[in-house]
């Protein structure tokens, strides 16, 4: 089995997807305690290292890792923030590049928000890609939409993939299959019916498109909800009250627009229902919203694996 190290592992979305793609995690690095606890609870067999990636050295792993992956923090490039880019202290692309140099993995996979492609970051983006190329990698960058890979949500993410020069195979981004994404209604109907809500089927028929992007928000601001005003309007069109998050499904005689539970939000994000985010609703929703959808990570991971094993048809 191919091996991987993941930095900024979060609550495990990317790690889960890569595991399903056939990668065995040597180490997962994550500095937030709640996220570390979630990783350890859901996958006790994973080697979770709870520390700042800036304090993590890759020298001891040099030549022992097939894939270095990570979802470096997105606020420096998010349109919802100040877009400070390299001037933002949360920008960890330099740490990712340092670890690529130290570990020399056969492949890399880094994901971030769509804002990284904005014109304001042209020079910085080119600098990042150039540094990775200088370390000996054939690098590609592309915007992928989660709904093209079975996730019932409009969630664009930038995926950078690099394959070390000299590898026999060539990486190709996974084919898009938008028809595989269910509507929000079809995705959540059984969960909405858990307490016998009599209007569940009617609601599901109205919620007949994919969801807007799930947001995680900052630990410094607010409680659990489905995002700012524009996002809540999009949820309202699906018959969902985005002003908060519910503890459980609607009761039998509930009238009006239901709120989603953390479990519902996690399913929309592509997590299995068995994934445990803990009992703190605000923390759980932040972990879920900031995650990388496992099905997308799996799709990209499978193509990376094919490139490393030289299995792709047109290599």
Query: What pLDDT, in 10s, does the model give residues 25-36?
Result: 999 999 999 999
Phi, psi of 217 (to 5 degrees): 75, 180
Q: Is residue 274 part of a domain?
A: yes
Closest CA to 287 of 19, 9, 7: 9
Q: Is 225 helix (H, G, I), strand (E, B) or coil?
A: coil
Q: Which residues pair with 107 in a beta bridge?
A: 67, 163
Residue 78 sits in a domain whose CATH number is 3.40.50.150
Q: Tell me the pLDDT tens digit for each residue of 96-142.
A: 999 999 999 999 999 998 888 988 888 889 999 999 999 999 999 99
Taking the C-alpha atoms of residue 80 and residue 155, their distance in angstroms, rounded to an integer, is: 14
Task: Examine the domain organization and report whether 284 and 146 are in the same domain.
Answer: no
Is residue 196 domain-resident?
Answer: yes
Same domain, 250 and 298: no
Of 183, 188, 209, 208, the C-alpha closest to 200 is: 188
Whether residue 54 contacts residue 275, with contact meaning beta carbons closer than 8 Å, is answered with no
Length of the chain: 315
Both tokens assigned to 51: 């520390």
In terms of domains, do 121 and 204 share one? no
Considering the domain architecture, whether residues 212 and 239 belong to the same structural domain is answered as yes
d(CA 31, CA 51): 4
Asked if 188 contacts 153 with a C-beta cutoff of 8 angstroms, the reply is: no
Q: What is the DSSP letter of 55?
A: G
Assess if residue 94 is contained within a domain.
Answer: yes
Residue with the larger pLDDT of the pair 141 and 231: 141
Do residues 67 and 84 both lie within one domain? yes
Q: Residue 314: how many CB atoms within 10 A of its CB?
A: 5
pLDDT per residue as tens digits for the range 65-107: 999 999 887 444 444 444 443 444 557 889 999 999 999 999 9
Q: Are residues 76 and 14 in the same domain?
A: yes
Report helix, strand or coil for 139. strand
Same domain for 198 and 145: no
Residues 143 and 225 in one domain: no
Query: Number of folded domains in the chain?
Result: 2
Domain span at 159 = 2-177+293-309
**Stretch 211-238: mean pLDDT:** 80
| Catalytic residue set | 74
Q: Do 14 and 30 belong to one domain? A: yes
- Residue 292 CA to residue 7 CA, distance in Å, equals 13
Q: Do residues 281 and 247 make contact, with C-beta atoms less than 8 angstroms apart?
A: yes
Q: Are 109 and 160 in contact (CB under 8 A)?
A: yes
Q: Are residues 241 and 299 in the same domain?
A: no
* One domain, residues 189 and 154: no
Q: What pTM did the predictor assign?
A: 0.91
139: in domain = yes
CA–CA distance, 296 with 151 (Å, rounded to integer): 8
């Amino acid at each position: 089995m191919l091996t991987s190290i993941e930095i900024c592992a979060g609550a495990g979305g990317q790690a889960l997807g890569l595991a399903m793609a056939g990668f065995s995690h040597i180490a997962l690095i994550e500095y937030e305690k709640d996220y570390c606890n979630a990783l350890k609870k859901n996958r006790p067999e994973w080697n979770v290292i709870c520390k700042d990636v800036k304090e993590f050295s890759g020298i001891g792993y040099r030549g022992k890792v097939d894939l270095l992956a990570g979802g470096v923090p997105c606020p420096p490039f998010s349109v919802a923030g100040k877009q400070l880019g390299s001037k933002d202290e949360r920008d960890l692309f330099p740490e990712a590049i340092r670890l690529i140099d130290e570990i020399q993995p056969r492949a890399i996979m880094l994901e971030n928000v769509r804002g990284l492609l904005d014109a304001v970051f042209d020079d910085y983006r080119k600098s990042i890609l150039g540094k990775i190329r200088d370390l000996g990698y054939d690098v590609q960058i592309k915007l992928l939409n989660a709904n093209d890979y079975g996730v019932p949500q409009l969630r664009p993410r930038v995926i950078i993939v690099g394959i070390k020069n000299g590898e026999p195979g060539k990486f190709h981004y996974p084919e898009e299959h938008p028809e595989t994404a269910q509507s929000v209604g079809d995705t959540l109907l059984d969960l909405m019916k858990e307490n016998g809500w009599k209007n569940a089927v009617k609601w599901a028929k109205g919620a007949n498109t994919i969801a807007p992007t799930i947001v995680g928000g900052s630990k410094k601001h607010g409680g659990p909800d489905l995002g700012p005003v524009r996002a809540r309007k999009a949820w309202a069109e699906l018959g969902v009250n985005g002003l908060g998050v519910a503890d459980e499904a609607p009761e039998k005689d509930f009238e009006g627009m239901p709120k989603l539970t953390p479990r519902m939000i996690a399913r929309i994000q592509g997590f299995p229902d068995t994934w445990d985010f803990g009992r703190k609703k605000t923390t759980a929703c932040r972990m879920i919203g900031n995650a990388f959808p496992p099905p997308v990570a799996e799709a990209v991971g499978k193509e990376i694996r094919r490139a490393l094993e030289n299995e792709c048809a047109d290599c």
